[in-house]
Amino acid sequence: MARERKEKPGPLEYNRRWPLQAIVGATLFFLYFPLIILMVFSFNDSRRNIVWQGFTLDYYEKAFNNSSLIEAFANSLTIAFFCTIISVVLGALTAVMLWRFRFPGKTAVEGAMALPIVVPEICMGVAMLVFFARVMPWPTGMPWPLNLGAIIIAHVSFAFPFVATVVRARLASFNRELEEAAKDLGASEWRTFWDVLVPHMQPGLIAGALLAFTLSLDDFVITFFTAGPDTITFPVKVYSMLRFSVTPEVNAASTILIVVTVVLTAVGLRMQDQQDQKAKAK
Amino acid sequence: MARERKEKPGPLEYNRRWPLQAIVGATLFFLYFPLIILMVFSFNDSRRNIVWQGFTLDYYEKAFNNSSLIEAFANSLTIAFFCTIISVVLGALTAVMLWRFRFPGKTAVEGAMALPIVVPEICMGVAMLVFFARVMPWPTGMPWPLNLGAIIIAHVSFAFPFVATVVRARLASFNRELEEAAKDLGASEWRTFWDVLVPHMQPGLIAGALLAFTLSLDDFVITFFTAGPDTITFPVKVYSMLRFSVTPEVNAASTILIVVTVVLTAVGLRMQDQQDQKAKAK
Amino acid sequence: MTEAAIAARPTPHVKDNAIIRFENITKRYGKVVAVDNVNLEIREGEFFALLGPSGCGKTTLLRMLAGFETPTEGRVFIDGKDIAELPPNKRPVNMVFQSYAVFPHMKVADNVAYGLKMDGVEAGESRRRVEEALELVKLGGYGDRMPDQLSGGQRQRVALARALVKRPRVLLLDEPLSALDAKLRDQMRSELTSLQEKVGITFIMVTHDQDEALAIATRCAVMNRGLLAQVATPADLYEFPSSRFVADFVGSVNMFEGVLADDKHDEATVRCPEIAAPIYLDHGVTGAQGSTVWVALRPEKIEMHKRPEGAAPMKMEDAPAGTNVVPGIIRDIVYLGSETIFEVELEGGRRVKTFRSNLTRYDQEDFTWDEPVWLAWHACSPAVLLS
Amino acid sequence: MTEAAIAARPTPHVKDNAIIRFENITKRYGKVVAVDNVNLEIREGEFFALLGPSGCGKTTLLRMLAGFETPTEGRVFIDGKDIAELPPNKRPVNMVFQSYAVFPHMKVADNVAYGLKMDGVEAGESRRRVEEALELVKLGGYGDRMPDQLSGGQRQRVALARALVKRPRVLLLDEPLSALDAKLRDQMRSELTSLQEKVGITFIMVTHDQDEALAIATRCAVMNRGLLAQVATPADLYEFPSSRFVADFVGSVNMFEGVLADDKHDEATVRCPEIAAPIYLDHGVTGAQGSTVWVALRPEKIEMHKRPEGAAPMKMEDAPAGTNVVPGIIRDIVYLGSETIFEVELEGGRRVKTFRSNLTRYDQEDFTWDEPVWLAWHACSPAVLLS
């Protein structure tokens, strides 16, 4: 009916507002320009020149042959993998607990949960540095991947609150009658949890996992402060390459990281959208 | 009625689940321990010792007397201020445009909007570095605050998409009949915008502004790559102090930054909550 | 065919001039035709209802009056003037929206004063008129409240006051009662009619609820798939529907398909396969003999009598003159307190619905499940439909 | 006082034993008393309705049967066994939830089979019973659909099948029709009754809608503020309410406060300040003379006759024996198609509501606004209430 249609005025209406269009268009272009340049110049056949010299994949080849870059990438993936698993478990438990139970100090816990999201990362970094340098030094010289333990713990500490927030939001839409229905039909508490609550949380768990993964993969500051000299991650490696000079190799490495992150996020959003549409169809 | 009450099982029910309580409690403690240590030791009357030596405010006094730290803080506040204003205007315009109009390439713009939220900050940093170092070098030696221009632009580029996202979400709950009612009562397009749409967006604008402010205030990576040698911000200053050694002065500075951020965020959340409750009461 | 059973609401304020005229109005959205060549006149002072199922185009028509939709073809006149070029904020009509659309950040008084402020009405005058409008909708003294302190019914009154304070030529109401609960709906129904009588402004209401339209409106237009199905007074709509769609949409009905067997000026006969005996009518049908027609019979117009099992089958010829009588068996009884709905199965298996008011508390004729009964109706009761 | 005007639904499957017994049940939440010392027996095979406004404690009572609430005081018996200690998953009852609570991530067949899987029913047997249950609710062949492919009504059938497949002793229904639209609601109403007759299981339904309770239930309990107000068949509830609350909540009513002037075994008189003449009743009232009573008169039980303006005022004595007659003036007419609601103002200003079925299409007695009329009702029509 008419109600639906009026939500979408034709393109004509928009065209009448070209000043708005111009401002926003220019802004978008200006703000994204640096990122575009970064990516474009990873394909530029010149070491120092900002003028386009021709297309090349040389710098990607170089990046792939740089064994310390590859090692850093492997470290990053390993850290992100463990961080994701731990964050999802802890985050989901926390979310269920906050959603389900009343207990003394609940508000305080909810506030504390949000802290790592809010605290400046430089401060988190300093805190981790102080902690692992003085209070509880992580044993050095341990075999891979145990040497990554400190970084994983540091990453979990800022990633799991995001998971908890996402899962908590998902739980808000849970119909408690579903749980009662399962019990009414003969299910125990435990079966109800697995048969009803976990399937409902699933999109939140997936979104949270992807979030934790990309947060861990992309983190520079906290890793930089926590990591010992022998454990380099991808962003830290990119940084250290920069200290010498900005080479197209850095551009290539950055582009790879951007692509990985964007793809992961796009997949996550797509999955959430599908779930939302299913939920709407109901 | 009963429906409402069953949402809140008594504390008893929770106590039965003490293993869950223990796990989550331990986790929270363990993860927040570093932050607590950081803050506690800013009051410890000892330069190097991790054992408590007595309460002192000496390091806060020192921090306040450190003129370069104060200058960095002033820079940070100035940058955050301008970044907030520009981000709110651009973000709100973008949000209204995306919400209101259909136009060719809308999906692409919406995707592009999300990019700065997603792109790893190290990559954003590299991109800014390349951009301002090679493509469009920011003139040096300009009077304050013009010398901060490059940093402000860089900050706006990652802050305004957050504002746009928050405002866009707020707009989703707008009842378009309000707009029609205003027109029906004789208001022009422009009056309708100011009398009806802007008041509705207000909580989103405030939340977005606070978000942009804290994001700008806390940013380290992008600032680090964009800033010239003569423009130091607070997080960068903390970092440079760390390079010499971890002194309680650093702890004090970090604590100040944490407190400022947390207070700003808490105020923002409180304001949004009040608006939400008002909306619910309707 | 248009003599109503019930006196129409006395409407001294309805004038003869057409305040609204739709002329060959068509509205297309791409290939979808929302409104299809509608011609309609609404007279000054009427309380007019646009009635129909969702998606029938009634809201589109209303929104064309307000200026939120423009017709693809045709013209709309208010007071004889073509208003095609006028934007919504320049039209002499005001609207009460389905969600009421009360501005949530303004006090009640500021809401009501908004339209006057836009017109540049001077402050003292505005205050006086706002006061007056709030009194009119029984919200005197509520001016300083915020909308979130009001109930749904009160917010609707604010929307009414806000529209009426501008003294529009026509007031448009989009599903005015749909957001209220049942008890409040009944109350607002009668308040709306008395409000309209008091202010004497033409009201045009969109609704999907036939009870609402019948109870409130002086005249209704029933729409279906963009077309006007019938325009008539409530009683004519109910008793003399022009098509199967109208008969079915407005009220409950038993519909029988049949063939026109005999058609004279003052009597006619229809043979329906689902009813053993032919249906006798006391009026002519102006249809071709042998053509397919539909007989629409309202449940409250069917009488039910006991039919002793052993007794000799009553013949149609024995029935009182002008009455149709068919045998059946009660299959379902739905007791609703003030009335009871019976579902009676005819000999061919067709089920017929009939209502009975429960007029006394005891000693009522005692019908029960699976009881044989006679169904009887007067020859004037069925409406014969040609489409 | 309990002779119904309408035959009760034939219920051969209702047995004499009490399948459910509430014994002195009280439920408190802090200081709030949700259920207040309720004693109630429900017989095997009944379709029982718990009826009342929201917050009256009806849902709490139902949830106690399911095991989701525990009584603060008192005991609940199913089949004579105290079930206080049984958790929800061990009770021989199943529930159809208000939201239906169909598991969204399971196919229809898996939803229905869920309860059987929990009971460890073997796969082949389970498949057979699921098939059977889906046939029963007319969803045969829908087993492979996902719930989001179903309409609201179909999802309700899934919830019914899922509960019935477990062959519970009692089926609990929480506002089963409230989420459906009006047309579907009427249909599901009759399907629910025939389903219950077919399976012969005791159904207990919670509802706030009196039409629903009257139409479906064999017996109803009306609740108010945690207390049982009345337990009776639908017809007894409507015609012989035990209190003003019941009379007002179930159906529409004209209520007059008065004083019991005269009370014999087979007649009584009540003087009401709002009605000029005393109200004559053809039965005794068992109340103290001079005590305050309330006379409840259903609108459909009031007749309306023309009162020629010039004619000599009819005296009460002239009225036919056993009839009460009062003069009034029609103030409002609400036409609803099958019936019309008249609001008649009595001499003292009190307005009385009366319904009239529109039995013929034309030649109907033609009442209009502001017309003087006689209102008449039989001496057996009013119910006299002591509280």
E strand or H helix at A187, and its extent? none
Between chain B and chain C, how many beta carbons pairs sit less than 8 Å apart? 67
Looking at the fold, whether C319 and C286 belong to one and the same domain comes out as no
Rounded distance, CA B236 to CA B73, Å?
A: 10
Chain C residues touching residue B199 (CB < 8 angstroms)? 103, 105
CA distance B184 to chain A (A): 15
Listed residue (D141, D154, D138) closest to D195, CA to CA? D138
Report residue C76: phi and psi, to 5°. -120, 130
B196 touches C: beta carbon within 8 Å: yes
* Pick from D67, D104, D114: CB nearest A185: D114
D324 near D280, Cβ under 8 Å? yes
Listed residue (D206, D153, D143) closest to D184, CA to CA? D153
Question: How distant is the alpha carbon of residue A12 from its chain centre?
Answer: 39
Concatenated DSSP letters of A75-133: HHHHHHHHHHHHHHHHHHHHHHHHHH---TTHHHHHHHHHHHHHS-HHHHHHHHHHIII
A193 touches D: beta carbon within 8 Å: no
D88 touches B: beta carbon within 8 Å: no
Rounded distance, CA D12 to CA D196, Å?
A: 12
Q: Tell me the CA end-to-end span of chain C in Å, nearest whole number.
A: 16
Chains interfacing with D (3 or more CB pairs < 8 Å): A, B, C
Single-letter residue type at B259:
V
DSSP A139: P
Looking at the fold, whether C174 and C264 belong to one and the same domain comes out as no
CA distance B184 to chain C (A): 5
Rounded distance, CA A92 to CA D360, Å?
A: 68
CA distance C107 to chain D (A): 31
pLDDT tens for chain D, 387 residues: list them: 344 445 556 666 778 888 999 999 999 998 899 999 999 999 999 999 999 998 899 999 999 999 999 999 999 999 999 998 889 999 999 999 999 999 999 999 999 999 999 999 999 999 999 999 999 999 988 999 999 999 888 999 999 999 999 999 999 999 998 888 777 888 888 889 989 988 989 999 999 999 899 999 999 999 999 999 999 999 999 999 999 999 999 989 999 999 988 877 778 889 998 888 888 888 777 777 888 999 999 999 998 888 876 665 555 555 666 688 888 999 988 889 889 999 999 988 899 999 988 888 875 667 888 889 989 998 888 999 988
Listed residue (A158, A150, A153) closest to A91, CA to CA? A158
Q: Can you tell me the mean pLDDT for C271-282? A: 86
Per-residue pLDDT at A19 exceeds 90? no
Residue with tokens 């598991």: D103
Looking at the fold, whether D219 and D312 belong to one and the same domain comes out as no
**Is C82 within a domain?**
yes
Which of D29, D174, D206 is the best residue to mutate to test the B interface, defined by the most B CB atoms within 10 Å of its own CB?
D29
Q: Left (φ > 0), alpha (ψ -120 to 50) or beta: where does D290 sit?
A: left
Looking at the fold, whether D308 and D278 belong to one and the same domain comes out as no
- Hey, are the CB atoms on C98 and B177 less than 8 Å from each other? yes
Pairing between β-strand D227-232 and β-strand D219-224 as defined by DSSP bridges = antiparallel
Chains interfacing with C (3 or more CB pairs < 8 Å): A, B, D
Q: What is the pLDDT of residue D307?
A: 84
DSSP helix, strand, coil percent of chain A (3-state; round to 5): 80, 0, 20
From chain D residues 107-126, the ones with a CB under 8 A of any chain A CB are 114-115, 118-119
Chain D residues touching residue C339 (CB < 8 angstroms)? 300, 357
C103 or C369, higher pLDDT: C103
Looking at the fold, whether C259 and C307 belong to one and the same domain comes out as no
B139 or A39, higher pLDDT: A39
**Is D303 within a domain?**
yes
**Is C316 within a domain?**
yes
Q: List the structure tokens of C125.
A: 């005058």
Looking at the fold, whether C316 and C172 belong to one and the same domain comes out as no
C157 or A228, higher pLDDT: C157
Q: What is the pLDDT of residue A9?
A: 39
D379 near D323, Cβ under 8 Å? yes
Domain end point (choices D297, D325, D359): D297
**Is D53 within a domain?**
yes
Instruction: Give the CATH number of the domain where residue C195 resides.
Output: 3.40.50.300
Residue with tokens 């019930």: C6
Number of domains chain C contains: 3
User: 3-state DSSP call for residue D32?
Assistant: strand
- Hey, are the CB atoms on B2 and D54 less than 8 Å from each other? no
Please report how many Cα atoms fall inside a 13 Å half-sphere around the Cα of residue C221, on the Cβ side.
Answer: 26
Q: What is the band of A277 on the pLDDT scale with cuts at 50, 70, 90?
A: low
Q: What is the pLDDT of residue D109?
A: 95
Chain C residues touching residue A16 (CB < 8 angstroms)? none
Per-residue pLDDT at A177 exceeds 70? yes
Domain end point (choices D234, D264, D297): D297
Chain B residues touching residue D68 (CB < 8 angstroms)? 6
C367 touches B: beta carbon within 8 Å: no
ipTM: 0.80
Q: What is the pLDDT of residue B6?
A: 38
A148 or C111, higher pLDDT: C111
Single-letter residue type at A63:
A
Chains interfacing with A (3 or more CB pairs < 8 Å): B, C, D
Chain A residues touching residue D147 (CB < 8 angstroms)? 282
Q: What is the pLDDT of residue D344?
A: 94
- Hey, are the CB atoms on D99 and A175 less than 8 Å from each other? yes
Looking at the fold, whether C270 and C333 belong to one and the same domain comes out as no
Between chain A and chain C, how many beta carbons pairs sit less than 8 Å apart? 15
Domain housing C59:
18-92+168-247
Rounded distance, CA D346 to CA A161, Å?
A: 70
Looking at the fold, whether D241 and D359 belong to one and the same domain comes out as no
**Is C114 within a domain?**
no
B253 or C351, higher pLDDT: C351
**Is C286 within a domain?**
yes
CA distance B35 to chain A (A): 5
Residue with tokens 């005269």: D262
Q: List the structure tokens of C353.
A: 């619905």
Secondary structure of chain C in HEC code, one letter for each residue = CCCCCCCCCCCCCCCCCEEEEEEEEEEEECCEEEEEEEEEEEECCCEEEEECCCCCCHHHHHHHHHCCCCCCEEEEEECCEECCCCCHHHCCEEEECCCCCCCCCCCHHHHHHHHHHHCCCCHHHHHHHHHHHHHHCCCCCCCCCCHHHCCHHHHHHHHHHHHHCCCCCEEEEECCCCCCCHHHHHHHHHHHHHHHHHHCCEEEEEECCHHHHHHHCCEEEEEECCEEEEEECHHHHHHCCCCHHHHHHCCCCEEEEEEEEEECCCCEEEECCCCCCCEEECCCCCCCCCCEEEEEECHHHCEEEECCCCCCCCCHHHCCCCEEEEEEEEEEEEECCCEEEEEEEECCCCEEEEEEECCCCCCCCCCCCCCEEEEEEECCCCEEECC
CA distance A277 to chain C (A): 23
Looking at the fold, whether D312 and D258 belong to one and the same domain comes out as no
Q: What's this model's pTM, rounded to 2 decimal places?
A: 0.83
User: 3-state DSSP call for residue D209?
Assistant: coil
Looking at the fold, whether C240 and C262 belong to one and the same domain comes out as no
Q: Can you tell me the mean pLDDT for C240-258? A: 93
Chain D residues touching residue C336 (CB < 8 angstroms)? 211, 214-215
Listed residue (C139, C194, C196) closest to C170, CA to CA? C196
Domain end point (choices D209, D226, D247): D247
Looking at the fold, whether C182 and C293 belong to one and the same domain comes out as no
Q: Hey, which bits of chain D come out as E strands?
A: 18-29, 32-43, 47-51, 73-78, 81-82, 93-96, 170-174, 202-207, 219-224, 227-232, 254-263, 268-271, 279-281, 292-297, 303-306, 323-335, 339-346, 351-357, 372-378, 383-385
pLDDT by residue (tens digit) across C158-185? 999 999 999 999 999 999 988 887 778 8
Which of C63, C91, C100, C114 is the best residue to mutate to test the B interface, defined by the most B CB atoms within 10 Å of its own CB?
C114
D164 near D143, Cβ under 8 Å? no
Domain spans in chain B, listed from the N-terminal domain onward: 2-59, 60-281
Per-residue pLDDT at C267 exceeds 50? yes
pLDDT tens for chain B, 282 residues: list them: 333 333 333 333 444 566 666 766 777 776 777 888 888 888 877 766 667 777 878 888 888 888 888 888 888 999 999 999 999 998 898 888 888 877 777 777 777 777 777 788 888 888 888 787 777 777 766 666 667 888 888 899 888 888 988 898 889 889 999 999 999 999 988 899 999 999 999 888 988 998 899 889 888 888 888 877 777 888 888 888 877 777 778 888 888 888 888 888 887 777 766 666 655 544
Q: List the structure tokens of C141.
A: 């003294």
Q: What is the band of C94 on the pLDDT scale with cuts at 50, 70, 90?
A: very high
pLDDT by residue (tens digit) across C128-151? 999 999 999 999 889 999 999 998
E strand or H helix at D91, and its extent? none
Q: Can you tell me the mean pLDDT for A149-161? A: 87
Per-residue pLDDT at C106 exceeds 60? yes
**Is D128 within a domain?**
no
- Hey, are the CB atoms on B1 and D63 less than 8 Å from each other? no
Rounded distance, CA C345 to CA C327, Å?
A: 9
- CATH fourth-level superfamily of A60-281: MetI-like (1.10.3720.10)
CB atoms within 10 A of CB C228: 21
DSSP helix, strand, coil percent of chain D (3-state; round to 5): 25, 35, 40
pLDDT by residue (tens digit) across C31-56? 899 999 999 999 999 999 999 998 89
Q: What is the pLDDT of residue B49?
A: 60
Looking at the fold, whether C216 and C352 belong to one and the same domain comes out as no
Q: Can you tell me the mean pLDDT for A152-173? A: 88
**Is C119 within a domain?**
no
Per-residue pLDDT at C310 exceeds 70? no
Listed residue (A191, A194, A175, A174) closest to A183, CA to CA? A191
